[in-house]
Structure 1
């Protein structure tokens, strides 16, 4: 298949923004979707690159655009297909950069999904493969026949890998996700933690090949052969095509699971839901009717809920003993219900996986909130409220980064207040601290420092005076001024707590 073949598919409604005939005649080896600012490590030669341009914003300099396009050019991408939905049109600066780096650029209208493009390429490529003369295959005919039979039977990736590499002596090979999760491995391949897998791939040891298909930056699949010479490149590519076909077939199951999860989350979000309806929804998701359960709510910046669901699902798959259902709440918020299992009410180790997820797309803030254990299905609504509060605390802890917060961790006043909306915290602090909050004068700033030290020293006049290098009488005078300005009495515990909370809310 070639780039210009896409233009013949009228249903896609693609438009060439720039591309010479020689570039449009390039052969397409696969498809990858990315909104990473620097996607270089995820690209393979000959791939079509789909991007919604989330990484770009009006006002960004040309250098940022050039870095993105240069990564595509260096990787040998066949073309860039840029979506118009995010910005209404493809920015002219991107057109200029593609022209400068000689990367063909096609515009994707808002009504055309990336999935439609991926499927069109996938079906065309597999049609081309089915018409390929037998002598053009690298895999032996008997291996191809057996792999086709395994695919038809719905065999697992482990069985596919084992059979695909058996005729090569069964070299060590892993099927990995972008976060380092091992999807499958040949019998000779050692067990790897997600950190070891990511380290091996990052080190460039062996051969790594991306599996085609509709996938995001968090759940992409990679075939990683530990020995660089353990399989001929053509054989490796044909095995990757078999795995791509498996994932394409598996997407129907994932779609059905997503619909079931959405239905369960809708019931969990309802103020009142009949137990029979909850039991049926849990059963449809493959979850037990009895708890304990936990609810996780996630956020990927302020948009892209579908990608956030993919990220959350990928993180939860790192704990295979804890079945889950991940989808969208009625308002479009990504969430999941986890069956913790009998006697296992501790939260899933999301905080250990979250950094690996964030590295897949470091420019996008990624947060999650985890509820406490819900003893029964009827407690899911309460667990959902807990998870939402914990999510707010996670966002407060790392607004531009990545964080996971569980309500089990909200064991201090500061941690508890971090889940309060920022506007409410600001209003509370301003109201309680009064003129001190505005810090308009040097004297007010001096009084604020005295208040902070006084409360940190548990109201000890002597220790406060020692730390501030003041006479005790001066400390007494300043505290009296603070009490006058705030209307609080610092001899009372409740008033001390009010002022301490106000300081934490700044």
Structure 2
């Protein structure tokens, strides 16, 4: 209730001595005191009742009113035998505290009981309103998805917001994100923030499932203002909305639902080479469409294998069929386009959230439904190649499988290790003993197609120094880098590291 509401309660017998200065503060509770400085027992918003037992002279009035004003009380109601001294009135005017005179015929107990009853009734009404709103929001979310839910919130609660994925894909806005602010910028700010909620360019970013999900696979609710300036009621409503969006996010995780189980069985059947025409029909995939298969895996870090399902949904969009087979997440997505570059760009945007996770992704070419089995093998082979890379973004597409790298990937690990050791171990031992850089020099020399000048410029060395190092490499390994065969063998050994 507000201070002005006291005047609408004649049973209190209150007369205004110092009117409110247009602030009309909210009364949170009622406190009775006869201490000259009760500030340590006040938290703000109280209606203070006092019988003036603390007053001995005019100076005491200033001390008392200054202390309660500093504590942020809503108003003061006072009486001593139905009278208030003029110095108390003056002090309230100076410090901007509304002052009421309590009639001699009304006890402080009556004032307290009446106001507290009114406060309790108001809070019960607010609670019913919140619960009713919550039921409406849940019903909306369950029936039509996020769009109508956020429209209802914007219309009735004044909370303009959007839901984003960590790659910057917008799932459901109520209003466009302001011009000049890219969704990818907000997503990156979310991934790199030390704590959430986080404010970026005046937009508040909340994690939807921050307690149990890795941030890189979570959803983001972006509100169009700074949450730190909100009153408690608005913050509570925002948190309520975030909780309901979390329910929608959970609904999209179909692992335990019928559609998820059917997709899992479909993927397993494709991997096994079984006929899948009937299964495609059951999960809504058209045999006449064309498809891309994506294989992904993760090791180490905070991202779990099961969460890679969320990540692939974010990267691919739409409704791909996703299953987990032998430690790999495999997605079959309908498309007529090569999506390798788009997946690589999205993974780059997710980079800040993947720093400690070894994520590798392979992407097949576009195939007809009858070629899904070969596309799965292509995607899995590409993923294995990606896992051997040291790049920050380890995404390999089908086009790279036509290169020499495919041959390297087919060589057994023990043979690869033996070949690599015979060629490079003498150089590693020499580098370790002499703090030289023969292996980096060799790699640069081959990358420059054997050009002494280009290699020296790239290494910032005199050309004679480069010649000396190459001679030392040839001496230690017994190879001749002027011969194409020896250059190719060194190239292969370096690619196997």
- Tell me the TM-score range normalised by the shorter chain: 0.5 to 0.7
Name the counterpart of 1:338.
Answer: 333
Pairs within 5 Å for 1:219-230? 219-228=217-226, 229=230
User: Relative to 1, partners in 2 of residues 1:402 and 1:312: Cα closer, same or farther, differing over 3 Å?
Assistant: farther
Could you tell me how far apart the structure 1 residues matched to 2:255 and 2:470 are? 70
User: Relative to 1, partners in 2 of residues 1:254 and 1:373: Cα closer, same or farther, differing over 3 Å?
Assistant: farther
Q: Kindly indicate whether the alpha-carbon contact (under 8 Å) linking 1:354 and 1:402 is maintained by their aligned counterparts in 2.
A: yes
Q: Kindly indicate whether the alpha-carbon contact (under 8 Å) linking 1:461 and 1:475 is maintained by their aligned counterparts in 2.
A: no
Name the counterpart of 1:265.
Answer: 267
Name the counterpart of 1:301.
Answer: 299
Match of 1:279 among 269, 277, 280: 277
Name the counterpart of 1:310.
Answer: 307
Offset of residue 414 of structure 1: 6.5
Larger Rg: 2
Name the counterpart of 1:239.
Answer: 241
Offset of residue 227 of structure 1: 1.8
Could you tell me how far apart the structure 2 residues matched to 1:450 and 1:219 are? 41
Cα offsets for 1:17-61 (capped at 9, x unmatched): xxxxxxxxxxxxxxxxxxxxxxxxxxxxxxxxxxxxxxxxxxxxx
Offset of residue 333 of structure 1: 1.9
Could you tell me how far apart the structure 1 residues matched to 2:162 and 2:466 are? 69
User: Relative to 1, partners in 2 of residues 1:337 and 1:450: Cα closer, same or farther, differing over 3 Å?
Assistant: closer
Q: Kindly indicate whether the alpha-carbon contact (under 8 Å) linking 2:365 and 2:398 is maintained by their aligned counterparts in 1.
A: no
Q: What is the Cα-based RMSD across aligned positions, in Å?
A: 4.7
Match of 1:359 among 329, 339, 352: 352
User: Relative to 1, partners in 2 of residues 1:268 and 1:451: Cα closer, same or farther, differing over 3 Å?
Assistant: same
User: Relative to 1, partners in 2 of residues 1:196 and 1:284: Cα closer, same or farther, differing over 3 Å?
Assistant: farther
User: Relative to 1, partners in 2 of residues 1:436 and 1:289: Cα closer, same or farther, differing over 3 Å?
Assistant: same
Could you tell me how far apart the structure 2 residues matched to 1:207 and 1:464 are? 50
Count of aligned pairs: 357
Could you tell me how far apart the structure 2 residues matched to 1:480 and 1:246 are? 64
Normalised TM-score (structure 2): 0.57
Could you tell me how far apart the structure 2 residues matched to 1:350 and 1:464 are? 34
Cα offsets for 1:187-214 (capped at 9, x unmatched): 4655875413225655443444443598
Q: Kindly indicate whether the alpha-carbon contact (under 8 Å) linking 2:141 and 2:148 is maintained by their aligned counterparts in 1.
A: no
Pairs within 5 Å for 1:3-152? 135-137=126-128, 139=130, 141=132, 143-144=133-134, 146-151=136-141
Could you tell me how far apart the structure 2 residues matched to 1:477 and 1:178 are? 51
Could you tell me how far apart the structure 2 residues matched to 1:209 and 1:459 are? 54
Offset of residue 160 of structure 1: 0.9
Offset of residue 158 of structure 1: 0.7
Give the secondary-structure state (helix, strand or coil) at the position aligned to 2:147: helix
Offset of residue 354 of structure 1: 1.7
Could you tell me how far apart the structure 1 residues matched to 2:473 and 2:204 are? 68
Offset of residue 251 of structure 1: 4.6
User: Relative to 1, partners in 2 of residues 1:349 and 1:423: Cα closer, same or farther, differing over 3 Å?
Assistant: farther
Give the secondary-structure state (helix, strand or coil) at the position aligned to 2:418: helix
Match of 2:164 among 156, 176, 181: 176
User: Relative to 1, partners in 2 of residues 1:256 and 1:347: Cα closer, same or farther, differing over 3 Å?
Assistant: farther
Offset of residue 293 of structure 1: 2.4
Name the counterpart of 1:17.
Answer: none
Give the gaps of 5 or more residues in structure 1. Answer: 1-131
User: Relative to 1, partners in 2 of residues 1:420 and 1:368: Cα closer, same or farther, differing over 3 Å?
Assistant: farther
Offset of residue 315 of structure 1: 4.2
Is structure 2 residue 392 aligned with structure 1 residue 394? no
Q: Kindly indicate whether the alpha-carbon contact (under 8 Å) linking 2:335 and 2:366 is maintained by their aligned counterparts in 1.
A: no
Give the secondary-structure state (helix, strand or coil) at the position aligned to 2:293: strand
Could you tell me how far apart the structure 1 residues matched to 2:236 and 2:470 are? 82
Q: Kindly indicate whether the alpha-carbon contact (under 8 Å) linking 1:291 and 1:339 is maintained by their aligned counterparts in 2.
A: yes
Name the counterpart of 1:118.
Answer: none
User: Relative to 1, partners in 2 of residues 1:478 and 1:282: Cα closer, same or farther, differing over 3 Å?
Assistant: same
Give the gaps of 5 or more residues in structure 2. Answer: 1-122, 191-197
Could you tell me how far apart the structure 1 residues matched to 2:301 and 2:465 are? 52
Give the secondary-structure state (helix, strand or coil) at the position aligned to 1:289: coil
User: Relative to 1, partners in 2 of residues 1:301 and 1:480: Cα closer, same or farther, differing over 3 Å?
Assistant: closer
Is structure 2 residue 399 aligned with structure 1 residue 408? yes
Offset of residue 283 of structure 1: 3.2
